[in-house]
Amino acid sequence: MNGISVLNQYKCISNDILAKLTTKLNKSFKSFLMETLILYMVIPGRINFLQLGRYGKSCEQRFRQNFSKDFDWLEFNLSLADRVLTGDRKAIAIDPSFISKSGKHTPWISYFWSGTASMTQRGLEILGVGLIDIDTKNCISLQAVQTPDSHTLGSRDANLLDWYLLVLKSMQDKLCGASRYIVADAYFSKNSFCVGVQAMEFDLISRFRNDAVLFYPTLEKPTGKRGRPKLYDGKIDMANLDKSRVQKIAIDKGELYTLIAYSKSLKQKVRLAIWYSKDERKPKLFFSTDINMSGKDVIEYYRTRFQIEFCFRDAKGFTGLTHCQARNVAKLSFNFNASLTSVNLAKVMSKERGIPFSMASCKTMMHNAYLLERFISVSGIKPNRRLNDKLVKEVVEFAAIAA
């Protein structure tokens, strides 16, 4: 396989997925989308409308106009996930990500929590929805939706959790076919969110705060007398577990205990997994609203959730997730999703080429192949690919880390 075929392979993967979409695209928008996804992997610096016009074959104005159009990123990325995520256990991971942005006229700019800075900062926020594979420890970003500012949410008489539930509700039909489990961090372990997720026929896997109030389920059988049956016995003391009521699971680097417990905050029984690490004093409390789930699955599902953070990291570092300078919600949304989808395409390409995934290597090879193809087309020379295959491969993989 010669070097320039890296570019051709990227195009073929995109074309194959576009052909499977239920919504048919016109030829003009399809060519624009293909060019955009390639340029996100080719441009080495900032990725904005000016740079897209410089590196692409289309003018800057074409990119500005088409970024405001709708596209079904969720269906596109679900098809990509089928080519990468081959394990049997899958879950839907959700995670808000802070986008550094300034400007008086940037839509929905407000103060949002930044995990990197461990404080609220002025900027934008997106809710990332991804599909994680617990067996292969991988993640494909499905869609990113921008979070409205506090004033907009207030005018709708809603809060952040209401908005996140509304986003999931809009994707419910397609997400149900991917997995029945939603994995989220401790912020989402609230009764209102849990009830909303279960109303959509999903089960929530998350983590309790360290001071969560949990009870042992009652061992008494119903008496048949009037009144509500007893739900639980005593409060669970994490420092002195009743070993007769928990199951210990063999696991490395610590101790894991599991049981069905009653949560005071969620007002329901949950499958609780208590993780005692050798390095930390207080245990971590993981849970699933599916009480039939094993404790080992609960902790493995939750730990794999962090893979969605790597999608954000790669998109911010290589495909311009934070670079768009538009002052329009639709254009910003198109940039967020195009950036994350480019990372997904790179993962598919790496898997099908049989090389370790490295965003730096993928971008380097794509950039070199794009420049080499441009030089050849501009020069008007038709090189003998069979004779020059070794030289072309060497040029394309120059400076690649894991080629």
- The alpha carbon dihedral of 112, 113, 117, 118 has a sign of positive
pLDDT computed for residue 144 by the predictor: 98
Poorest-pLDDT segment among 49-53, 101-105, 222-226, 333-337: 222-226
3-state class of 117 per DSSP?
A: coil
Report phi then psi at 79, rounded to 5: -70, -40
Contacts of 5 (CB under 8 A, 6+ apart): none
Report phi then psi at 140, rounded to 5: -120, 125
Higher pLDDT, 202 or 255: 202
Question: CB burial class (10 A; 0-12, 13-18, 19+) of residue 296?
Answer: middle
User: Region 218-238: what's the mean pLDDT?
Assistant: 80
Contacts of 176 (CB under 8 A, 6+ apart): 201, 202
User: Region 133-150: what's the mean pLDDT?
Assistant: 97
Q: With 80 as the cut, is the pLDDT of residue 116 above it?
A: yes
Neighbours of 97 (CB within 10 A): 26
Higher pLDDT, 251 or 340: 340
pLDDT computed for residue 326 by the predictor: 93
Answer whether 137's CB lies under 8 Å from 114's CB. Answer: no
pLDDT computed for residue 103 by the predictor: 85
Q: Which helix (H) or strand (E) holds 47?
A: none
Catalogue the long-range contacts made by 349-352 (C-beta closer than 8 Å, 24 or more residues apart).
349/6, 349/9, 349/10, 349/13, 351/83, 351/84, 352/9, 352/13, 352/83
Question: How many whole angstroms separate alpha carbon 181 and alpha carbon 256?
Answer: 21
Summarize pLDDT for 87-102 with one digit per residue, the tens: 999 999 999 999 999 8
pLDDT computed for residue 367 by the predictor: 86
Global pTM value: 0.91
Higher pLDDT, 392 or 317: 317
pLDDT computed for residue 2 by the predictor: 45
User: Region 309-314: what's the mean pLDDT?
Assistant: 96
Answer whether 76's CB lies under 8 Å from 63's CB. Answer: no
* pLDDT level of residue 295 (50, 70, 90 thresholds): very high
User: Region 358-377: what's the mean pLDDT?
Assistant: 85
User: Region 103-112: what's the mean pLDDT?
Assistant: 92
User: Region 204-224: what's the mean pLDDT?
Assistant: 88
Percent of the chain with pLDDT strictly greater than 90: 74
* pLDDT level of residue 375 (50, 70, 90 thresholds): confident
Tell me the domain boundaries of the chain: 208-291
pLDDT computed for residue 383 by the predictor: 65
3-state class of 174 per DSSP?
A: helix
User: Region 44-67: what's the mean pLDDT?
Assistant: 95
Per DSSP, the residues of 314-360 read: HHHHHS-TTT----SHHHHHHHHHHHHHHHHHHHHHHHHHT----HH
pLDDT computed for residue 3 by the predictor: 47
Q: With 50 as the cut, is the pLDDT of residue 403 above it?
A: no
Strand partners, 112: 121
3-state class of 253 per DSSP?
A: coil
Higher pLDDT, 205 or 220: 205
277: left (phi over 0), alpha (psi -120 to 50) or beta: beta
Percent of the chain with pLDDT strictly greater than 70: 93
Question: How many whole angstroms separate alpha carbon 3 and alpha carbon 367?
Answer: 11
Poorest-pLDDT segment among 134-148, 175-189, 339-353, 365-379: 365-379
Question: How many whole angstroms separate alpha carbon 44 and alpha carbon 319?
Answer: 9
Strand partners, 286: 207, 273
Specify the DSSP class assigned to residue 188.
G
Summarize pLDDT for 246-293 with one digit per residue, the tens: 999 988 778 899 999 999 999 999 999 999 988 777 899 999 999 999
Question: How many whole angstroms separate alpha carbon 124 and alpha carbon 106?
Answer: 9
Report phi then psi at 248, rounded to 5: -90, 135
Residue 146 one-letter amino acid: Q
Place of tokens 């609203």: 289
Nearest-CA neighbor of 238 among 262, 211, 265? 211
Place of tokens 């340029």: 39
Q: With 80 as the cut, is the pLDDT of residue 386 above it?
A: no
